[in-house]
Structure 1
Amino acid sequence: MKARTLRRIFNLWPPFLFAGIRVQRLDDDYRYARVKLKLAWYNRNYVRVHFGGNLFSMTDPFWMIMVLKCLGDDYVVWDQAGEIRFVAPGRADVFADFRIDEAVLDEIRAATAGGEKCLRWFETDVRTASGEVVAVVRKQVYVRRKRR
């Protein structure tokens, strides 16, 4: 699937659409993505800041999908674990950037070359437009070569 098509699907997908989450950019080579979560009356928590579940949701599928698309059909890629650390109250729209470089992909290819699994942690800061960190999300991705 083309990245442009997947970005449009994400932006119409009810869990993102109704939470105020928008994929602003997804590069054709799946090496970079930018996601925005707007702050609105319907996605605030009791103390009127971003609901933590939405902060985690805005980051959820990207590392797994980006690794899968970059490695290709010869690999099995799954989310293994995830964690979030709240740093500051989210009182404005927030953004998450995902970037994967060739060195990381080479590391994963080398680790899985003999059929072994690779568990790789990825970290994403969720920031306001001014750069203030609101949350840090870590996702562990499981990767192995498909058995022939």
Structure 2
Amino acid sequence: MKSMFKKAWVMRLALNCWPPLFFSGIKIRHLSADFRSAQVKLTMRPWNTNAMGAHFGGSLYAMTDPCYMLMLMAQLGEDYIVWDKSADIDYIKPGRGIVTVDFLINESLLDDIIKNTANGDKYLPQLPVYVKDAQGDVVAKVNRTLYIRRKQNRHKKS
């Protein structure tokens, strides 16, 4: 990860200015200094509302990207490759007003990743993400699959 993104406040600022998020009405409300938790919000605007008067599904999907990938890159460091591999979304009910997503990386997840990549194998954890409305009701569930692998030592000593 580039050195400018090693500080959470810099990453949060950069993501909040990044056009795909900014122009969709998506804002990183919180990113902890240790990259273990984040909260993202989406405010309803005329340009992110669908024909039925609810949040556009693409905006709901976009608000879950790329948080887990970037947070895990910060947690695992330069010895790991972390990519978003795939995701699918299940729309539960129409989302209106402000909707939020909470991201959390716990020690169990990190231990699981380290264990499953110790031999250089790729690991594809699936992380559920819940988009919730102001009442706490689930609006959509996004299943994000990440690609994680420990980098091979390219400069082995003889």
Pick the TM interval, shorter chain.
Answer: over 0.9
Distance of 2:150 and 2:20 partners within structure 1: 31
| Counterpart mapping for 1:17-96 below 5 A | 17-96=22-101
Corresponding residue pairs, total: 148
RMSD, aligned CA: 0.7
1:10 and 2:15 aligned: yes
Residue from 100, 103, 111 that aligns with 1:106: 111
C-alpha distance after superposition, 1:46-78 (max 9, x if no partner)? 111100000000001011111111111100111
Q: Which residue of 2 aligns with 1:120?
A: 125
TM-score, reference length from structure 2: 0.92
Larger Rg: 2
Which stretches of structure 1, 4 residues or longer, exceed 3 Å deviation after superposition? none
TM-score, reference length from structure 1: 0.98
Secondary structure at the counterpart of residue 42 of structure 1? helix
Secondary structure at the counterpart of residue 84 of structure 1? strand
Question: Given residue 58 of structure 1, which amino acid in structure 2 is its aligned partner?
Answer: M
Question: Given residue 106 of structure 1, which amino acid in structure 2 is its aligned partner?
Answer: D
Q: Tell me, which stretches of 5 or more residues in structure 2 are unaligned?
A: 154-158
Q: Tell me, which stretches of 5 or more residues in structure 1 are unaligned?
A: none
| Counterpart mapping for 1:124-139 below 5 A | 124-139=129-144
Percent of residue pairs identical: 44
Distance of 2:94 and 2:14 partners within structure 1: 29
